[in-house]
Amino acid sequence: MADYSSLNLDPGRRLAAPEDTSMVPAGERPDMPTQVDVAIAGAGVIGLSIGWRLAARGMSVAVFDRDTTGAGASLAATGMLAAAAEHEPGGDELLKLALESQALWPHYRQMLEAESGIDIDYRDEGTLLVANNRDEVERLRFRHELQQRCGLDAQWLNARETRALEPGLRASVAGGILCKGDHQVDPRPMVPALARAFVRQGGLLFENTAVTAVDTAGGAATGLQTAAGLCKAKSVVIANGVWANDLIEPLGVDVPMRPLRGQAMSLITTRQTGTLSHVVWTEQIHLAPKRNGRLVVGATVEDMGFHAAVTAGGALALLEGLHRALPSSEEMEVEAIWSGFRPTSDDDAPIMGETGIPGLTLATGHHRNGILLAPITGQAFEQLLTAGTMQGAATGFGLDRFRKPVPAAAKVPAGE
Ligand SMILES: Cc1cc2nc3c(=O)[nH]c(=O)nc-3n(C[C@H](O)[C@H](O)[C@H](O)COP(=O)(O)OP(=O)(O)OC[C@H]3O[C@@H](n4cnc5c(N)ncnc54)[C@H](O)[C@@H]3O)c2cc1C
């Protein structure tokens, strides 16, 4: 009988933040303030990014999460900042937003690391898109043509040039694209860095404190009802990812959004197995080398509702894609395998801005781009809540784009 007692894999368990980045002593919670300038529901990268920027502007800000920081999609993410690599036909407005955010990333990273004292493993080697064989080359060429039409920095490489950049790739590799501007970061240290930077700017972070409802008076949002009591606020931001409708639907606002499950895993590379020096993207998977020899393999895209299970099919898809790309992966130890819910709107783009209810704004729907879009979202809400309006590409992502115009006939008063 085999002895499984030494197995340490715990399916579903995510990679944790490094221990030395713990934010607040477990179980400790600040006192509930009587009133703040801004109350935010959700401490993922989006809620924390907004909170951090507003606290840095001298506002009093409270962020509430029913779990620990990043426990939603944020700590499930790979951390690709892949504006060019993942650009899809029809996504031109989103591309503008993604490129604006990508341009903000170096400064955002610098400030985040300086204020938190945490190295977030930002890497700028670029992303290498790979065609594993001749069949995939044509589809990759189509992607390259689209990238060129959009003026993106994307360099076509033949098979030899591709393997010269990543010698560990399978010998059948037939071509590639190098997107030099698509960098990466590690969400494991990024989430606690955001939490720490937010708290150091005077922000109040309430973990394990569910928001139960938006507090309203006279048709306007006036705060958040939480498990720890009422937090009155001049402005309220709903940033609780794919769960936004739990809080906003009772107010008569419908956010067209669903969870898209992503399963991912991490492997431990060694000197013998070798690792990668770029993020490698194939039709099936992406591979992102992190600190300490870790290699993150992501991610499935599954429309399964709120079903968080790690499945055999998900693991198979990841392992199959891995095997096709990187032969030495057979010897790599599996460290963890997990799932997360991307908050995905009907057009795959974020929903940012006003809701039609005075005092209530929404920041959700960041789908597979929440890490990439964290800087621009923080900046856009800083503009909105200090100057009253957003600027730049962020202005095109309001909830009103989903509201259907009322048909002319429906406007005709009865009897006419
Ligand atoms: C497998 C996978 C890989 C990904 N890879 C990438 C990538 O490489 N690059 C990239 O840019 N993006 C990536 N993403 C997408 C990215 O993770 C998300 O877009 C981003 O994390 C969304 O952040 P958020 O703060 O809006 O939501 P979340 O991180 O989901 O945060 C929402 C928070 O709200 C809390 N909450 C919910 N309800 C309540 C309530 N009632 N009261 C209080 N708190 C509440 C939750 O506990 C949670 O912490 C990936 C996602 C997945 C799943």
- CA-74 nearest atom, ligand 1: 21
Average pLDDT, whole number, for the chain? 93
Name the least confident of 65-79, 140-154, 302-316, 392-406: 392-406
How far, in Å, from the CA of 74 to the mean position of ligand 1?
4
Select from 188, 366, 373 the residue to mutate for testing ligand 1; criterion: most ligand atoms less than 8 Å from CB.
366
> Distance, CA 69 to ligand 1 centroid (Å)?
10
pLDDT at residue number 10: 73
In ligand 1, the atom with minimum distance to the C-alpha of 338 is 1
Closest C-alpha to ligand 1, atom 31: 44
Ligand 1 binding site (Cβ under 6 Å of any ligand atom): 41-47, 64-67, 71-74, 76-80, 210-211, 239-241, 243, 246-247, 262, 264, 298-299, 340, 342-343, 364, 366-372
Which ligand 1 atom sits closest to the C-alpha of 242? 30
Confidence (pTM): 0.95
pLDDT at 24: 58
DSSP string, 152-214: ---EEEEHHHHHHH-TTS-TT--EEEEETT-EE--HHHHHHHHHHHHHHTT-EEE-S--EEEE
The confidence band for 414, taking pLDDT boundaries of 50, 70 and 90, is very low
Nearby residues of 366 by Cβ (< 8 Å), 6 or more positions away: 46, 241, 342, 343, 350, 373, 377
User: In which band, very low, low, confident or very high, does the pLDDT at 23 lie, cut at 50, 70 and 90?
Assistant: low
Nearest CA to ligand 1 atom 22: 370
Ligand 1 mean position to 73 CA, how many Å? 3
Q: 40, 243, 364: which to mutate for ligand 1, most atoms within 8 A of CB?
A: 243
Reported as a pLDDT band with limits 50, 70 and 90, residue 21 is low
Task: Compute, in angstroms, the gap from residue 6 CA to the centroid of ligand 1.
Answer: 33
Rounded to the nearest angstrom, the distance between the alpha carbon of 270 and the centre of ligand 1 is 30
pLDDT at res. 20: 62
CA of 372 to the centre of ligand 1 (A): 12
Residue nearest to atom 5 of ligand 1 (CA): 77
Q: Would the pLDDT of 17 be above 90?
A: no
Which run of H or E residues covers position 239?
none
Look at residue 148 and give its three-state secondary structure. Answer: helix
**Structure tokens of 252?**
């008569």
DSSP code of residue 68: S
Can you tell me the mean pLDDT for 316-344? 96
Q: Output helix, strand, coil percentages for the chain, rounded to the nearest 5.
A: 35, 25, 40
Question: What is the per-residue pLDDT across 213-265, written as a single tens digit (0 to 9) for each?
Answer: 999 999 999 999 999 999 999 999 999 999 999 999 999 999 999 999 999 99
Residue 408 has pLDDT above 80, yes or no: no
Split at pLDDT 50, 70, 90, the class of 5 is very low
Burial class (CB in 10 A: 0-12, 13-18, 19+), 311: middle
Q: CB-based burial of residue 243 (10 Å sphere; 0-12 exposed, 13-18 middle, 19+ buried)?
A: buried
Q: Which ranges constitute the DSSP H helices of 235-311? A: 244-248
Average pLDDT over residues 119-141: 96
pLDDT over 60 (residue 410): no
pLDDT band at 195 (very low <50, low <70, confident <90, very high): very high
pLDDT tens digits for 71-105? 999 999 999 999 999 999 999 999 999 999 999 99
Return d(Cα 115, Cα 185) in angstroms, integer.
17
| CATH numbers and ranges of domains, the chain | 26-76+188-256+348-402 (3.50.50.60), 124-182+258-345 (3.30.9.10)
pLDDT on residue 65: 97
